[in-house]
């Protein structure tokens, strides 16, 4: 659990000034959902100290994803966003008495993952309930991009940015999960402090990513191959977004490597990208590609067609 978020909630509970709405922001895999459930334990723990005891009925039910007053929403939209009909029921439900005996700080908690994928019309359903919340009701929302959240929702919530973990935090966490220290250090050198990516790397899942193939296509200015790879990813909008964000982080790591700084992520991939003779040795090409990737990401978050975005991106990248 992110220590900054945990400490903030703990202070609020101790001062009896718990906010009714939180938005957790951070890149995919950084641990937003884990943080949301930890916050639920902090808030509903029968001990009431802001530090989950892990043994009371509330903590055990949350751990088992079985607490009747911790409601996690699932979107039904085709692009992974919430529809208005997904959010309306919780507005009504928030005014209904809890199933369990209300605790000292809250009685009902709603977790809404990845709200930034939803259109403004759907998000606006939450405005009234955040303006006039029921006593003891808390909303915890997560987002990759805070710009995808309505400003009116942001202004009514405590926004917490979840950063990547440091090297020492990453290795400590992985060791606590039972991984050998040498493997933990090796994984960190490859992917940095994203706990989701670290676990995927250690489980051998990261090799399934098309990132290295994309690097090779970009370094060779192979538009046909790049178009094919991006088009395959575009069949799942979230997969294309994840690939674009990994490429952006890779370019940032490549710039660090070029400037003599130890890359925070994608060390091996950065070396591969920089070995290309095609790229501008002054990093001009990488800077332009980063801007194009950023433009494509923003376009996808505004619900542009993934296949058309992938086709445009592959063509303009290879023109750099």
Q: Under a CB-based contact definition with an 8 Å cutoff, are residues 245 and 297 in contact?
A: yes
Better pLDDT: 33 or 218: 33
What pLDDT is stored for residue 210 in this prediction?
67
Q: Under a CB-based contact definition with an 8 Å cutoff, are residues 191 and 197 in contact?
A: yes
Q: Angle, nearest 10°, between helix axes 211-219 and 237-258?
A: 60
What pLDDT is stored for residue 127 in this prediction?
92
Better pLDDT: 266 or 110: 110
Q: Which of 175, 165, 255, 243 is nearest to 209 (CA)?
A: 243
Instruction: Report the pLDDT averaged over residues 235-261.
Output: 79
d(CA 244, CA 261) in angstroms, rounded, equals 23
Tokens of 25: 């922001």
What pLDDT is stored for residue 319 in this prediction?
65
Write down the CATH number for the domain with range 209-317.
1.20.272
Question: What region does 265 belong to: left with phi over 0, alpha with psi -120 to 50, or beta?
Answer: beta
Flag whether pLDDT at 133 surpasses 90: no
- With 0-12 CB in 10 A as exposed, 13-18 as middle and 19+ as buried, what is 301? middle
Better pLDDT: 285 or 10: 10
Write down the CATH number for the domain with range 3-161.
3.40.50.300
Check: pTM over 0.85? Answer yes or no: no
Instruction: Report the pLDDT averaged over residues 29-42.
Output: 89
Q: Under a CB-based contact definition with an 8 Å cutoff, are residues 102 and 141 in contact?
A: no
Task: Tell me what the pLDDT averaged over the chain comes to.
Answer: 82
Q: Which of 253, 52, 70 is nearest to 164 (CA)?
A: 253
Flag whether pLDDT at 153 surpasses 70: yes
pLDDT tens for residues 166-220?
888 889 888 888 899 988 888 887 677 888 878 877 876 554 456 777 877 776 6
Q: What are the extents of the domains in the chain?
A: 3-161, 166-207, 209-317
d(CA 312, CA 302) in angstroms, rounded, equals 16
Q: What percent of the chain has pLDDT over 90?
A: 25
What pLDDT is stored for residue 302 in this prediction?
87
What pLDDT is stored for residue 264 in this prediction?
59
pLDDT tens for residues 57-94?
999 999 999 999 999 998 887 667 899 999 999 989 99
């Amino acid at each position: 659990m992110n220590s900054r978020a945990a400490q903030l909630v703990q202070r609020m509970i101790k001062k009896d000034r718990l906010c009714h709405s939180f938005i957790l922001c951070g890149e995919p895999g950084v641990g937003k959902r884990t943080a949301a459930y930890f916050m639920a334990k902090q808030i509903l723990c029968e001990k009431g100290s802001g530090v989950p005891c892990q043994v009371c009925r509330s903590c055990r039910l949350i751990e088992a994803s079985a607490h009747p007053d911790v409601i996690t929403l699932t979107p039904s939209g085709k692009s992974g966003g919430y529809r208005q009909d997904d959010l309306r029921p919780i507005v009504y439900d928030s005014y209904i008495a809890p199933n369990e005996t209300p605790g000292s700080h809250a009685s009902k908690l709603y977790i809404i993952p990845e709200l930034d994928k939803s259109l403004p019309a759907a998000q606006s359903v939450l405005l009234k309930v955040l303006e006039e919340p029921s006593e003891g009701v808390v909303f915890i929302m997560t987002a990759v991009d805070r710009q995808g959240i309505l400003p009116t929702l942001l202004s009514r919530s405590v926004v917490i940015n979840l950063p990547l973990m440091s090297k020492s935090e990453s290795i400590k966490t992985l060791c606590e999960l039972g991984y050998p220290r040498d493997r933990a250090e090796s994984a960190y050198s490859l992917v940095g402090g994203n706990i989701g990516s670290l676990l995927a790397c250690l489980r051998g899942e990261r090799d399934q990513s098309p990132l290295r193939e994309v690097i090779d296509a970009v370094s060779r200015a192979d538009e046909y191959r790049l178009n094919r790879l991006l088009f395959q990813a575009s069949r799942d909008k979230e997969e294309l977004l994840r690939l674009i964000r990994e490429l952006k982080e890779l370019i940032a790591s490549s710039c660090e490597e070029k400037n003599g700084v130890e890359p925070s992520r994608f060390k091996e991939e950065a070396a591969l990208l920089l070995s290309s003779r095609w790229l501008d040795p002054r990093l001009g090409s990488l800077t332009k590609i980063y801007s194009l990737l950023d433009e494509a990401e923003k376009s996808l978050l505004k619900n542009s067609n993934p296949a058309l975005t992938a086709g445009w991106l592959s063509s303009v990248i290879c023109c750099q």
